[in-house]
Amino acid sequence: MSSKKVLFLVEVAIFTALALALDLIPFLSFKIWGQGGSISFAMIPVFIIAFRWGLKGGLLSGFLFGILQIPFGAWILTPLQGFIEYGLAFTVIGFAGVFAKQIQQAVKDGRAGKYFTYILLGVLLGTTLRFIGHFIAGVVFFERFMPENFTNIWFYSFVYNFSYLFPCFIICSVAVFFLFYKQPRTLLNTAS
How far is the CA of 118 from the CAs of 52, 53, 83, 156, 181, in angstroms?
A: 13, 15, 29, 31, 13
Q: Are 61 and 49 in contact (CB under 8 A)?
A: yes
Cα 163 to Cα 135: distance, rounded to the nearest angstrom: 12
CA distance 186 to 117: 20
**Domain coordinates of the chain in residue numbers?**
3-188
pLDDT single digits (tens) 88-107:
999 999 999 999 999 999 99
Question: For residue 26, what pLDDT is reported?
Answer: 77
Grade residue 35 by pLDDT with cuts at 50, 70 and 90: low
One-letter amino acid at 187 equals L
As a whole number of Å, the end-to-end CA separation of the chain is 18
Q: Round the average pLDDT of the chain to a whole number and report it.
A: 92
Helix pair 112-141, 100-108: axis angle to 10 deg:
160
19-23, 37-41, 116-120: range with lowest mean pLDDT = 37-41
Q: What is the pLDDT of residues 64-81, one digit of tens each?
A: 999 999 998 888 999 999
- Tell me how far apart the alpha carbons of residues 68 and 63 are, in angstroms, rounded to a whole number: 9
pTM value? Answer: 0.93
Distance between CA 67 and CA 80 in Å, rounded?
Answer: 14
Tally Cβ neighbours within 10 Å of residue 156: 19
Residues paired with residue 30 on neighbouring β-strands, in sequence order: 39
What is residue 34's predicted lDDT score, i.e. its pLDDT?
Answer: 64
Does 191 score more than 50 pLDDT?
no
Say if residue 48's pLDDT is above 70. yes
Residue 32: pLDDT band with limits 50, 70, 90? low
Average of per-residue pLDDT across 103-126: 94
Q: How big is the CA angle at 73 (ends 165 and 147), to the nearest 5 degrees? A: 55
What CATH architecture applies to the domain 3-188? Orthogonal Bundle (1.10)
> Is 184 a residue whose pLDDT tops 60?
yes
Most confident range, picked from 32-36, 47-51, 107-111 = 47-51
Question: Using one digit for the tens of pLDDT, what is the confidence trace for 121-178?
Answer: 999 999 999 999 999 999 999 999 889 899 999 999 999 999 999 999 999 999 999 9
How large is the average pLDDT for residues 18-27?
89
